[in-house]
Amino acid sequence: MRPLRTVAVLPTLITLGNGFCGFLAVSKIADALAAEADSGAVDTQKLLTAGYLIFLAMVFDAFDGFVARLTKTSTDFGGQLDSLCDAVSFGLAPAFLAKVLMEHGNSEGIREIHPKLALLLTAPFVLCAILRLARFNVQLEHEDEAHDAFQGLPTPAAAGMLVALCLLFLDAEVARLLPFDSKFLVYALMPLCPALAFLMVGKLHYVHFVSKLTRGRRSMQHLVGLIGLVVVFAFYPELFLAVGLAVYTLSGPVLAVAEKASGRRLMDRPPEDFELSPEEEALLDLDPEGWELAYLGLGSNVGNRAALIRRAIEMIEQEPEVRVGTVSDFFETRSLGGPPQRNFLNAVIAIETTLSPGALLDRLQEVEALLGRRRLVRWGPRTVDIDILLYGERVVETPRLVVPHPRLGERGFVLEPLSEIAPDLAHPLTGQTIGEMYQEARDAGRLEESLRRIRHELSLTRTGHPSRSEPKRTP
């Protein structure tokens, strides 16, 4: 068992604030039920407070990750803690609130719903929220692509949708603005709970709404539109949240139908989801004609880094359809992104292969797994990481694999060793040689130089394997 010696104080406290709001919301709902014994009616004000506390938990949930990234203290511990708090705030609390309204709405002239039926309708929401969070933790780390979308409705959005309807019903002043009797909102909770549960664990895709609205540079009209939304929210927060979250919840099914009708993708997929179109599958499965030259990048910052890279090369070489040729020196580099961690050792190798790009990727991921690679924290420590940098002159763009590597020209720990063994190799898209790309990136100050260069017995030319020829460099 690996001991946990330190924790990031500020992000942890913010995450615990999320959990505390969830617990306090459950307490308020219980207090509202207790008031029924004295007055004969559920305390509506306490239920309102519980709903607002769940939305306050969302504020804490939004800021803990932001603060962790800002202070460079993102850890696996923080991710697991966040999910535990989310299970309370966005699973248990909203389902409990909906269950209470279903069972005790008769005081507002609504037909009473049997407690067992209310439990049957709300329990899937809690369980699916937990499943959704567990799946997200498993899929969290993927170092090659920053995801701006989710597979399945995010739990905070599902909780917000449920709570927003509850608040509309509970707030009498806002309920007057509705074009229908507010009691129908309670009836709407009955199909909504299982529907949201299904959407959380389903395969529909949802954009990262906050990221899409706020990331990057945008036009003045975009800014004015955001200000307008804030103003509307200030006047009618419950109505704004209900309508906005309803639109977001429906966006997944609507996009899926639109994509099926148009036959093309309208939204980038999250990197953890590798559902490919027939064309993309054919592109990945297309075998080369004979032996194809490819270049792989290897990195390690856990355990005996050099030994792990050597072992990875040996395991790659054991594949009958792969010939390992030129091997670069090892370069020690600082980690980029993710939590504080040990420096990396990086290397690049040239191979020849008769495997298709997809099959080669499968073999490399098997090597990673056999050497103990675990995908827990995005950009986190890893025993060994193997990327396909170039595969002949092929250009592959799929959710699962992009070749040439999309950030080949931005990474010194790739360009430096690659320029050592293949300086005259031409990039399939730009036509620049690797040596030119490396020099240009250095001159522009875009690369972080390696800390040291380590020569080893595998450098440059493989020996002792007469049956394996060294791949030739191609212009």
* β-bridge pairing 385-391 and 322-327: unpaired
155, 88 Cβ separation under 8 angstroms: no
What residues form DSSP beta bridges with 322? 353
Active-site residue flag, 31? no
Active-site residue flag, 273? no
Active-site residue flag, 382? yes
Amino acid at 458: L
Amino acid at 190: M
The pair of structure tokens assigned to 120 is 């049957």
Alpha carbon distance, N-terminus to C-terminus of the chain: 50
> Which of 387, 400, 411, 462 is the catalytic position?
387
C-alpha distances in Å from residue 440, one per residue of 144, 332, 412: 23, 21, 11
378, 142 Cβ separation under 8 angstroms: yes
Interatomic CA distance for residues 367 and 372, integer angstroms: 9
> Which of 363, 382, 400, 411 is the catalytic position?
382
Neighbour-count burial of 2, counting CB atoms closer than 10 A to its CB (0-12 exposed, 13-18 middle, 19+ buried): exposed
Interatomic CA distance for residues 100 and 166, integer angstroms: 10
25, 97 Cβ separation under 8 angstroms: yes
Query: Helices (H) and strands (E) in the chain — how many of each?
Result: 16, 10
> Which of 269, 373, 400, 411 is the catalytic position?
373
Active-site residue flag, 181? no
> Which of 61, 323, 385, 400 is the catalytic position?
385
Catalytic center residues: 373, 382, 385, 387
